[in-house]
Amino acid sequence: EAAARGDDTAPATAANATGRTGRRPASEPKQPFLSTSEGFAVTFLALVCARLLSASLNIIHDCDETYNYWEPLHYIMYKSGFQTWEYSPEFALRSYLYIIIHYVFVKPLALLSGAAFGTTASKIAVFFGLRSGFAVASAFTEATFV
């Protein structure tokens, strides 16, 4: 009768001993759906697909994306383009360190795609290459902290 009330202190019966009640013995740990490495891989794959799709299909939604690093990066790489007032020596509100970090990633990409010679199609490849790099870095960071 104690088992009928749901009393866990009831003596073990044949049904409890064989596991037909659906209860797991306390000594068996609950297994996760995916192991940690599998969970990371699935999460990373889902996020990288979403981020790469976004990087390839989305427009530039914010002028800060253009004027805070695309224009200064273009100016450094190709010696043409706009130098925004925040980066000008007169005001010097922003450091070029952030741009140089991008430059280190993009310059080899530009050389591989032929953008170092200034062709428009290659500059577009560099644009999407950098955006794809951001997508992978973002997906990795998010998957790590999820």
Give the count of beta carbons closer than 10 Å to the beta carbon of residue 139.
20
Dist. CA 130–CA 145, nearest whole Å: 23
Q: How many residues are there in the chain?
A: 146
Tell me: the pLDDT tens digits for 35-94?
678 889 999 999 999 999 999 999 888 887 777 888 889 888 888 888 788 888 888 888
Dihedral Cα 129, 132, 138, 141, nearest 10 deg:
-80
The structure's pTM equals 0.67
Confidence of residue 34 (pLDDT cuts 50, 70, 90): low
119 — pLDDT class (breaks 50, 70, 90): confident
Structure tokens at 5: 């009330």
Q: How confident is the model at residue 7 (pLDDT cuts 50, 70, 90)?
A: low
Give CA–CA dist 34/115, Å, rounded. 43
Q: Considering the chain, what is the average pLDDT of its residues?
A: 80
